[in-house]
Amino acid sequence: MSDHIHIRREGPAGRITLTRPKALNALSYEMAMAVDAALNDWAGDPGVAFVMMDAEGEKAFCAGGDIQTLYDKGRAGDYDYGRTFWRDEYRMNARLAEYRKPIVAFLQGFVMGGGVGLGCHASHRIVGDSTRIAMPECGIGLVPDVGGSLLLARAPGRLGEYLGLTTDRMGGADAIRAGFADTYIPEEGWEALKTALVETGDLSAIQTAAIIAPEAALAERQDRIDAIFGQPDLPAIVAALEADGSDFALSALKALRRNSPISMAATLELLAELRRSAAGIREALRLEYRFTARAMEHGDFLEGIRAQIIDRDRNPQWKHRLESLHSEAEAMLAPLGHDELAF
């Protein structure tokens, strides 16, 4: 059991609490495996009626995966560590998404990357005023993963392309609109709600505590987002943003010029394939794994982490330019043969 997670039974609830607030509850391999083991144990336990997930601290439910070790291993040429990390984490994500008992997740503060995979596949996803949800992977040389690609593909219109490519952060209302959350509850009432759920097991208390979410900013921009991010490829999206020229478009263009070109191109391919095939969580994770399994050795991941997390110079030297991508993204998503993700 990891020291950074508290797993226990309370009344009818199986409870999972992330206890690493100083690190914004970053999800380590050990933490992910502890969650997976608990879910497996509780699945057949008639005494567990539902699962509740939360986290200590006000700043974050989980701001992402613990990538320091991934970076260190990759720099040393150990690419198998990352493949093992992602493979086993993705299996945990699938278990969460397919779980047959209700899962209630309280998503305060930053919910990013691995935090999305942990909290946003739950059946009851609660957000509040502090919630900031994002898929920031294109900024570090990955693609939206942990099943986040499926959430993006199912978002209204072209919100998925916009959120995936720009890595923009969603407040609680936007997260509900985009399909990353369900219920808006003021955070001052969360502890009382948790107590009520544990004491009664009555999940209708969630809707009783819910309020109408504030206006979603993405709703006002939906038409513009659909027109621009519905373009057929990355260069066309860049051209549409340049032609639009609004403050919104210029801000999005700045994000695209900052993020990994091969990651963004592969994200477009990934979302298009998931929509085309009407895929479920397992197929989404398989496609994501094709990219992440190659990301250290053939992609921009190590350089992205160096620039954003290690040296923090915010000046990544990507392997490709926006204007020069051809078949590289397709190659990163090609089948892995015997190494394909299996469940």
Q: Which of 74, 82, 113, 114 is catalytic?
A: 114
Of 56, 62, 51, the closest CA to residue 197 belongs to 51
- Our measurement of the distance from residue 307's CA atom to the centroid of its chain's CA atoms, rounded to an integer in Å, reads 21
CB 126 within 8 A of CB 185: yes
Does residue 101 contact residue 110 with C-beta atoms inside 8 Å?
no
Amino acid at site 316: P
Out of 14, 36, 64, 65, the active site residue is: 65
Using CA atoms, how far apart are residues 339 and 170, in angstroms rounded to an integer? 34
Q: Which of 137, 168, 269, 288 is catalytic?
A: 137
Kind of pairing, strands 124-127 and 103-107?
parallel
65 is catalytic: yes
CA atoms in the 13 A half-sphere facing the CB of 280? 5
Cβ proximity of 253 and 238 under 8 Å:
yes
Residue 189 falls in the annotated catalytic set: no
Could you tell me if 145 and 292 are in contact, meaning their C-beta atoms sit under 8 angstroms apart?
Answer: yes
Asked if 275 and 284 count as a contact pair (C-beta separation under 8 A), the reply is no
Looking at residue 122, the DSSP 8-state letter turns out to be S
Active site residues: 65, 114, 137, 145
